[in-house]
A = this chain, B = another copy of it.
Amino acid sequence: MNYFSSNFKLGILGGGQLGKMLLYNTRKFDIHTSVLEASNEAPCKIACDEFHLGDLLDYDAVYNFGKQVDVLTIEIENVNIDALETLEKEGVKVYPASKTLRSIQNKAKQKLFYRDNEIPTSDFSRFAYLSEIEDAIENGGLEFPFVWKAAQFGYDGNGVKVVRKLSDLEGLPAGECIAEDLIPFKNELAVIVARNPSGETKTYPVVEMEFHPEANQVEYVICPARISNEIATKAEAVALKTSKAFNHVGLLAVEMFQTKDDEILVNEVAPRPHNSGHQTIEASYTSQFEQHIRAILDLPLGRTDNKVGGVMVNLVGAEGYTGNVVYENIETIMKMDGVTPHIYGKKQTRPFRKMGHVTIVNEDLNEARRIAEEVKKSIKVISE
């Protein structure tokens, strides 16, 4: 199909910041885009050709929207999967596939998928209700510490909690969840795999993530990861195996633990552009957003290696500030070498809310990492 000068339409479910960055990359190729999103205030609204208001979890909204497009993709996983399944049967190209989303949307199913496909992951138990965890502890079927995860609708540290004692369970949602082994790890790593329907596959370099100890949000993403070639090769192989197991089309971001014994365990995946790939905009030959578009349109994939070293810092709302956002010292960081802020345009800040990210690129990765720390120390997302 000729995407570049025809009546082709690309549909995107979700109108958030990831969708916006994706849309800017469709512009290079002059692709006609249509977005479905529940909020009229969504960032994508001014970046797409057509904007449709609708609930992403509503069957009719997703089905009626999807019928109007040729290729349908997502920028958020929580969408109505039954509608996607019908659309696939009716000939719409849906990437990621409904089957993949069904495996991923529910964390218990995701873990079972890894087990079934012999993809290394930490041990876990599945519970229909939170109360069953308490029973399991009482019966000796589960021991502290473990990681509680809500099976559905968790993101950015919501829906995940390390449980060290019974009282840590207080206040958690009552529904379906899993209890995972708490893995003592050296590093959190991620690999983004791109695959197009023709089967061409490329992996981005392994990145290393540093998490904020309290908020459980990524603080720095470092690309390439400062690990041995051996570990990098192992991580890439696991990521490729995972993408292949899903028979995935588009980007698959595979988050992994490097354990104390240098085992690689898959933590979770995201079937779309991902926070661990934002530095690709400035650091890589092909940004993850352009690559996702190339992949789902069955175009040749672009180079995935780095032009220069890249470090990404998430900009999150400072503790103690809620209200109209102010980016304190943003001009200070813009004076630093190779620093590009990406402000998402949310009007209100609150503690740990993701408000943007900053990329730092440099020929020397260690220098980029040093500047990233200065960035982190200087800029503060506060309120008026």
Nearest CB on B from A280, distance (A): 12
Q: Point out the residue from B5, B324, B327 that lies within 8 Å of A324, measured CB to CB.
A: B5
Interface string of A236-261 (1 = CB under 8 A from B): 00000000000000000000000000
Q: Which residue of B lies closest to A49 (CB)?
A: B46
Q: Is the CB of A294 within 8 A of B326?
A: no
* A53 contact set on B, CB distance < 8 A: none
Q: Point out the residue from B302, B326, B337 that lies within 8 Å of A2, measured CB to CB.
A: B326
Q: Point out the residue from B30, B302, B335 that lies within 8 Å of A340, measured CB to CB.
A: B302
* Whole-angstrom CA separation of A336 from B86 in the bound complex: 37
Q: Is the CB of B335 within 8 A of A30?
A: no
Q: Count identical subunits in the complex.
A: 2
Q: Which residue of B lies closest to A29 (CB)?
A: B343
Q: Is the CB of B337 within 8 A of A303?
A: yes
**Cβ of A351 < 8 Å from any Cβ of B?**
no
Q: Is the CB of B331 within 8 A of A28?
A: no
**Cβ of A48 < 8 Å from any Cβ of B?**
yes
Q: Point out the residue from B49, B307, B342 that lies within 8 Å of A307, measured CB to CB.
A: B307
* A182 contact set on B, CB distance < 8 A: none
**Cβ of A4 < 8 Å from any Cβ of B?**
yes
Q: Is the CB of A338 within 8 A of B303?
A: yes
Interface residues of A in 162-214 (CB under 8 A from B): none
* Whole-angstrom CA separation of A48 from B290 in the bound complex: 21
* A28 contact set on B, CB distance < 8 A: 340-343
* A157 contact set on B, CB distance < 8 A: none
Interface residues of A in 339-369 (CB under 8 A from B): 339-345, 347, 361, 363
**Cβ of A147 < 8 Å from any Cβ of B?**
no
* Whole-angstrom CA separation of A299 from B29 in the bound complex: 31
Q: Point out the residue from B46, B285, B307 that lies within 8 Å of A46, measured CB to CB.
A: B46
